[in-house]
Chain A
Amino acid sequence: MDLSEFEADNTVSCRLSSAIPDVCRTEDCCLGIDEAGRGPVLGPMVYGICFCPISKKDDLKGLKVADSKTLSEAERENLFHKLDEAKSFVGWALQVLSPNTISTSMLQRAKYNLNALSHDAAISLVQYALDCGVQLKELFVDTVGPAEKYQEKLSQRFPGVVVTVRPKADSLFPIVSAASICAKVARDHAVKSWKFLEDLGDMDADYGSGYPNDPKTKSWLLKYLDPVFGYPQFVRFSWSTAQTLLDSKAVPVHWDDDEEDGEKAAARKNCASMLSYFGRGKSQSTARETHRFFSERRLKTLDTL
């Protein structure tokens, strides 16, 4: 699988795709959606779709695709190779969401959660297939969040397509298994050959699976924590694993939109907490207020350094 387009800029989201088989433009097709790398604190999350004519479902079954999680890495590579060989009737497309995209989306002012991000990635891929002229009639999806709601959302978004959202769809429907293999192969490659844009010298690339409970991942996160910048962009800052480590080991960083409250935050912001009015504190200083022109520009007279 050629990931060079993503590797050219691994800080953004990228779409990779196979050629569209001609037969998919003329015959009714089924399409499967699955994702890889949703849980890990490291690396990209990959959404994948795979599609083929409904009449070719048995041929796909003949390739013996199965849920990617039950396969070894070598078996997945082998199956991806087989899918590639079947390109006369099987097509695929992937959306690679970089860890930086995930972090900045989830930590955005207007929060954009992982479910919404996932749904949007899936929807954009299906739309891509439609835009390419794929005669889509059946859609099979592994569930993200509550199955009924997602099914309703997709049915509304794609009228005329029969949508089946099912937990464990990747082991029930071969077309979903095929999508899961494409996604997982891309995720494996991206993680294995991650090009750090940060100059970390002789970096130890032994970061394990990337799952928060993997001891190798844990010790890597401890080793590569920078007190100011936190982590390289390979890490999903929005994961609680990363945040907990930063909270305890990195210097605190405060943003305008931080949701902190109470006396401590008020003291830091140099304004009075509600509680201070009940205490017998010092009387407020009666310094002359500066003109709005200066306060709006945050200009201050300095008399000491």
Chain B
Amino acid sequence: MKRQEVTYRTPETAVEGERSVQRMSSNGSVTTIQLGSVDQADRPQVHLLPCEIEQDGPAEVSCYFTCAVKDRKHEMSVSFRGRGLKGQEVSCPHGYTGLVLKEDHKPTTDQEDRTVRVSSIFSRFTYWNLETPPNSDDVVVMAMAWPELAKAIHGSVDD
């Protein structure tokens, strides 16, 4: 639930049917992302909160949070720890899928190889502002424009 950490993959990095994606880090250890579970992964509602919660693990989201969300006239509101939040839903950039990764065995040293699996996937999520209504200048909304821009910068130039 850490703030501003949303992980994406482009469809190109994993070919259909491929079981995993690997990446070697600078110290030589290999991180493997198992993609085999993508099809079975659940698709929960994902919320991005405007605060840092010192917790990395399960939480009673539907019992305390989702049940309290109000969606009126295209403005969503809720409160968390007694503070008022206003939010809206955004979609992941076209061609991208959001992944929630889970590491079942945490490495004890940074030399060890690591394996993570896809625990859930999402194509849209709700981001929340502290008290201020969502607008197009919000960091998350602006960040979603990068893939489009990256494509334009790195794509081939046609005459």
Chains A and B form a bound pair: yes
A residues engaging B (CB < 8 A)? 11, 100, 103-104, 106-109, 197-200, 226-230, 232-233, 236-238, 242, 246, 251-257, 296-299, 302-305
| B155 located at the interface, meaning its Cβ lies under 8 Å from any Cβ of chain A in the complex | no
The docked-state distance in angstroms from the alpha carbon of A253 to that of B131 is: 16
- The interface residues of chain B lying within 8 Å CB-to-CB of A236 are 82
Interface centre among A11, A228, A304 (most CB of B within 10 A): A228
Cross-interface CB contact of A230 among B26, B67, B81, B142, cutoff 8 Å: B81
- As a 0/1 sequence over residues 56 to 88 of chain B, the CB contacts with chain A under 8 angstroms (1 = contact) are 000110111101101000000001111110000
Cross-interface CB contact of A198 among B1, B68, B83, cutoff 8 Å: B68
Interface centre among A238, A252, A296, A297 (most CB of B within 10 A): A297
Q: A228-B59, A251-B54 are in contact. Are A103 and B142 (CB under 8 A)?
A: no
Q: How far is the CB of B107 from chain A (nearest CB, A)?
A: 10
| B114 located at the interface, meaning its Cβ lies under 8 Å from any Cβ of chain A in the complex | yes
- The interface residues of chain A lying within 8 Å CB-to-CB of B60 are 226, 228-229
Across chains A and B, the number of contacting residue pairs, with CB separation under 8 Å, is: 99
The docked-state distance in angstroms from the alpha carbon of A252 to that of B62 is: 20
Q: Is the CB of B131 within 8 A of A233?
A: no
Given A230-B81, A305-B31, 19 additional A-B pairs, CB 8 A = A11-B70, A100-B79, A100-B82, A106-B82, A108-B131, A198-B63, A199-B62, A227-B55, A228-B53, A228-B60, A229-B64, A230-B82, A233-B68, A242-B82, A251-B55, A254-B54, A256-B130, A296-B142, A302-B7
Q: Is the CB of B79 within 8 A of A253?
A: no
Interface SS of B by simple majority: mixed
Report, as a range, how many residues of chain B touch the other chain. Answer: 35 or more
Beta-carbon nearest neighbor of B78 in chain A: A11
- The interface residues of chain A lying within 8 Å CB-to-CB of B25 are 303-304
Chain A to chain B contacts (Cβ below 8 Å), 16 pairs: A103-B79, A108-B131, A198-B64, A198-B68, A228-B59, A228-B60, A229-B64, A229-B65, A237-B83, A242-B82, A252-B53, A252-B54, A253-B52, A254-B52, A256-B130, A296-B139
B residues engaging A (CB < 8 A)? 1, 4, 7, 25-26, 31, 50-55, 59-60, 62-65, 67-68, 70, 79-84, 101, 103, 114, 116, 130-131, 139, 142-143, 146
